[in-house]
Structure 1
Amino acid sequence: ICLESVMMQFCGNKLDKKDFFGKSDPFLVFYRSNEDGTFTICHKTEVVKNTLNPVWQAFKIPVRALCNGDYDRTIKIECYDWERDGSHDFIGEFSTSYRELSRGQSQFNVYEVINPKKKGKKKKYLNSGTVTLLSFLVDIEVTFLDYIKGGTQINFTVAIDFTASNGNPAQPTSLHYMSPYQMNAYAMALKAVGEIIQDYDSDKMFPALGFGAKLPPDGRVSHEFALNGNPQNPYCAGIDGVMEAYYQSLKSVCLYGPTNFSPVINHVARYAASVNDGSQYFVLLIITDGVISDMAQTKESIVNASCLPMSIIIVGVGPAEFDAMIELDGDEVRISSRGRYAERDIVQFVPFRDYIDRTGNHILSMARLAKDVLAEIPDQFLSYMRTRGIKPLPAPPPYTPPGYPTQI
């Protein structure tokens, strides 16, 4: 696959004057040619107001989008004078190719803008101005997997909601009900997401926390307790180990409240804050039945964590309204706390009920859930690495068992 992007900048010179009172408001439209001779728009520049000598802003475009990886394919560029009502005036056009453009700023990349209608009518017509390529920079796009191959470790932490709003685990109506016949909603969400994430976690050891329960022996309420009962070492072996610890703690703790998210977010943030070289990235998976009690503190924790190598996935189980979760997701409105905005979007929220297959086929719903839950992680991960200028390390050479000749 062609993973290059290119950054280009153009300027215009002596373009035709189209406006009666002013000059022109020029912009460019780039088209990729298709196999069947048609053209597809792949980029539009911004409009530069009232000038015949515009300098457009540099823009970045994947090489795939520009020429589908074929360096000699025609790229058509049209120049228009912008009109408020959308009836933009055509100034002229020219063609080039990626190979041509890749020569960078040179006499080869000064293009005459031609209007065929004018050319046909006026004998003395030369052109409608020129467009010049000012700069051309190629950038190889690195992917999430390039970092994984280079040794970046993804560390997953699981946090499960043990508040009383989930219902008494001994009752079949409870979201934590332990039925001998099928998994409850928490277990299903945990298994679905866990089976996918454990492929990215190199040591397959997951810290697993609970929040909102009274703990034995003294009944104190905790918002970040180790599911395996060992606060010094909350790690569980694989998702099966997490499931086991979850079932065990259901038998020993007492569901209580309130539903506080900030302690588990801060717990993971403390680890993430100690690693800023790109060697590790932390993902917190919170499974909850909904209503948050410490919304202000949670927002503050998320804003603080948005500059750390970490992401948060929230899976909502049960029938509650999840308005607060949607707000935390930050897809629509960037999350803020006390006037500070999150540096980047690090929260992905998914309501589990949207994935329960109506036919009762839980395997299907688990696969769909896992796919959507992890959809934003690579982009969140890459946005952290890019803004910090952290490049992936080269992948180590393939392992050769001793005694075998290495391949030349």
Structure 2
Amino acid sequence: MSNIYESAEATLGFISSPCLTKVELRVACRGIADRDALSKPDPCVVLKMQSHGQWFEVDRTEVIRSSSSPVFSKIFLVDYYFEEVQRLRFELHDISSGNNGLRDADFLGAMECTLGQIVSQRKLTKALLKQGNTAGKSSIMVTAEELSGNDDYVELSFSARKLDDKDFFSKSDPFLEIFRINDDGTESLVHRTETVMNNLSPVWKSFKVSLNTLCSGDHDRELKVAIDFTASNGDPRNSCSLHYIHPYQPNEYLKALVAVGEICQDYDSDKMFPAFGFGALIPPDFKVSHDFAVNFDEDNPECAGIQGVVEAYQNCLPKIQLYGPTNIAPIIQKVASSASEEMHTKEAMEYFILLILTDGVITDMADTREAIVHASHLPMSVIIVGVGNADFTDMQILDGDDGILRSPKGEPVLRDIVQFVPFKDFKHASPAALAKSVLAEVPNQVVDYYNAKGIKPKCMSDYESTRTFSP
């Protein structure tokens, strides 16, 4: 079953678009093995980004001489797209003295991740791998600071005079660490300068610091999935069915699920995704249900990762009977209930994203409008992907881009929380293009909700102190 998941995942590509957000990445390592008994490594980190299946170098740090736990002063500035999977690779090299190139350098290990994983966690620490195995006890830590497109910067320069000698035979090799004092009295690293070798009056390179940093990534986004199992999709055993399971090729439901899920899973803390179905007759009594757990465990509908949702979906199909009608209000109400509970918690930092995959016109339009108006007051968004060639005019009404959606009683939505996209518009594009279209509005929807509630994000002020990485 994983081959279908991997096939769908492999089609996710790199999409270029105007960048609204930039992220600063700071890198530190620890536990790097010594080259020999007499010398420590001279490490340098190379940052690469994947595009169309190939790795391209983005930038590299300075070389820090004779250090097994370097904290690099170089800050990587990268464009950040919430709605895309941006795959990064951090390679650690040992640059021998007198040579700053990589051709003769020793490769010490690498770490791969997505930019979304770093941004969502703010601080990502992983073991370095070499030829598929852990490179001893060495690890790399990357911290992220998200910048708005209109940030102001101040340029700082530092120097020192008449530092003490280390001993009679050698001068100091100074570097400078700049910390900020947080509201709670803790310290956070802002910048670490380069090391100036053998110098008692060093002048360090100037650097820029942002005056306006954002912490929008500190809200945990939880993805919930709802799949349409109505009879209009066609018999799953028939190759014409939208639910047809090919041994190696994902159907349109799976393509949409993987494309959107691959993005959202980076922002889900436990990587467990509740998956529901609607419009089917389910065992054991085969009564119609519009909000059943795809894994048939009503007490725990969560699946392990997006691949777990795919496997639950494939296991579910032979056990149910596709039926109808196409009612989506019950599943919106189910997720809204969870969002309502979260809204009344002390911190209210969890935001829910409901992904609905459906093939036809909904039959409970009035109830759905009512449910969406209610949900617009809650920490949640609704993404609807229309699968197949049906008339989705009603879905466009729910989207609200052409006017304010109102309940049957005339109550308007507090904010726009619905994004509808017909999958047929992306038949000749990559699933990444679909994900980009349906997720582009989510960051603003999250910010709009918390701004309206006056809830400030929990800024990650406790970056791990560089003292734990000091030589």
Q: Is TM > 0.5 for Structure 1 vs Structure 2? A: yes
Map 1:205-216 to 2 at 5 A.
205-216=272-283
2:284 equivalent in structure 1? 217
Q: Is the 8 A contact 2:226 2:278 kept in 1?
A: yes
User: How far does the alpha carbon of each residue in 1:95-140 deviate from its partner, in whole angstroms, 9 at most, with x for none?
Assistant: xxxxxxxxxxxxxxxxxxxxxxxxxxxxxxxxxxxxxxxxxxxxx8
Whether 2:419 is the aligned partner of 1:348: answer: yes
SS in 2 for 1:263: helix
Q: Name the structure 2 match of 1:153.
A: 220
1:196-249: CA deviation from partner (whole Å, max 9, x where unpaired): 111111111000000000001211100000001100000000000000000011
| Residues 388 and 168 of structure 1: CA distance in aligned 2, closer, same or farther (over 3 Å) | same
Write the letter of the residue equivalent to 1:405.
Answer: T
Map 1:193-204; keep pairs closer than 5 Å. Answer: 193-204=260-271
Once the two structures are superposed, residues 367-404 of structure 1 have per-residue CA deviations (whole angstroms, 9 ceiling, x without a partner) of: 10111110010111111011111111120523469xx6
- Measured against aligned partners, the alpha-carbon deviations of 1:132-152 in whole angstroms (never above 9, x if no partner) come to xxxxxxxx8775xx132x3x2
Does structure 1 retain, via aligned residues, the 8 Å contact 2:216–2:447?
A: no
Would you say 1:226 and 2:297 are equivalent positions?
no
Counterpart selection for 1:278 from 338, 342, 348 = 348
Q: Counterpart amino acid of 2:468?
A: P
**How does 1:309-348 map onto structure 2 within 5 Å?**
309-337=379-407, 338-348=409-419
Whole-Å Cα distance in 1 between the matches of residues 212 and 420 of structure 2?
27
Task: Name the counterpart of 1:243.
Answer: 310
CA 2–211 in structure 1, closer or farther in 2 if over 3 Å, else same: closer
Residue 437 of structure 2 is aligned to residue 380 of structure 1:
no
Q: 1:254 aligns with which of 321, 324, 328?
A: 321
Alpha-carbon distance in 2 for matches of 1:351, 1:394 = 37
CA distance in 2, matches of 1:335, 1:292: 16
1:43-96 Cα distance to aligned partner (Å, 9 max, x none): xxxxxxxxxxxxxxxxxxxx978xx9599xxxxxxxxxxxxxxxxxxxxxxxxx
Q: AA paired with 1:335?
A: L
Describe the shift of the 1:306–1:2 C-alpha distance in structure 2 as closer, same or farther (beyond 3 A): closer
Alpha-carbon spacing, 1:207–1:2, altered in 2? closer, same or farther (3 Å): closer
Alignment deviations for residues 247-271 of structure 1 (CA, whole Å, 9 cap, x no partner): 0111101000000001100000000
Answer whether contact 2:263 2:435 (CA < 8 A) is retained. Answer: yes
- Read off the aligned partner of 1:349 and give its amino acid letter: F
Opposite residue 353 of structure 1, the aligned amino acid is K
Pick the aligned partner of 1:395 from 460, 465, 468: 460
> 1:17-166 maps to which residues of 2 (within 5 A)?
143=214, 146-148=215-217, 150=218, 152-166=219-233
- Separation (CA, whole Å) in 2 of partners of 1:297 and 1:141: 43
Task: Output the CA distance in 1 between the equivalents of 2:153 and 2:458.
Answer: 29
Which residue number corresponds to residue 30 of structure 1? none
Q: What residue number does 2:369 align with?
A: 299
- Separation (CA, whole Å) in 2 of partners of 1:284 and 1:242: 14
In structure 2, what is the equivalent of residue 105 of structure 1?
none
Secondary structure in structure 2 of the residue aligned to 1:158: strand
Are the aligned partners of 2:225 and 2:354 in contact in 1 as well (CA < 8 Å)? yes
Larger Rg computed on CA atoms: 1
Distance (whole Å) between structure 2 residues aligned to residue 184 and residue 206 of structure 1: 20
What amino acid is aligned across from residue 255 of structure 1 in structure 2? L
Partner of 1:405: 468
TM-score (norm 2): 0.54
TM-score by length of 1: 0.62
- Unaligned 5+ residue runs, structure 1? 4-62, 72-139, 358-363
**CA shift in 2, pair 1:219/1:278, >3 Å:** same
Cα distance in 2 for partners of 1:323, 1:371 equals 22
1:310 shift after superposition: 0.4
Q: CA deviation at 1:275?
A: 1.5
How many residue pairs match? The answer is 267
How far apart are the structure 1 equivalents of 2:373 and 2:313?
29
Letter in 1 for 2:336: A
SS in structure 2 at match of 1:340: coil
Residues of 2 paired with 1:2 and 1:265: CA distance? 30
Q: CA deviation at 1:181?
A: 3.4
Query: RCO greater where, 1 or 2, for CA within 8 Å and sep 6 or more?
Result: 2
CA deviations 1:314-334 (Å, max 9, x no partner) are 011101111011000011111
CA distance in 1, matches of 2:220, 2:368: 26
Decide whether the 8 Å contact of 1:272 with 1:281 is kept in 2: yes
CA RMSD of aligned residues (A): 2.5
Aligned to 2:83: none
Question: In the alignment, is residue 170 of structure 1 matched against residue 240 of structure 2?
Answer: no
Q: Cα offset for 1:185?
A: 0.8
SS at match of 1:380: helix
Matched letter for residue 216 of structure 2:
Y
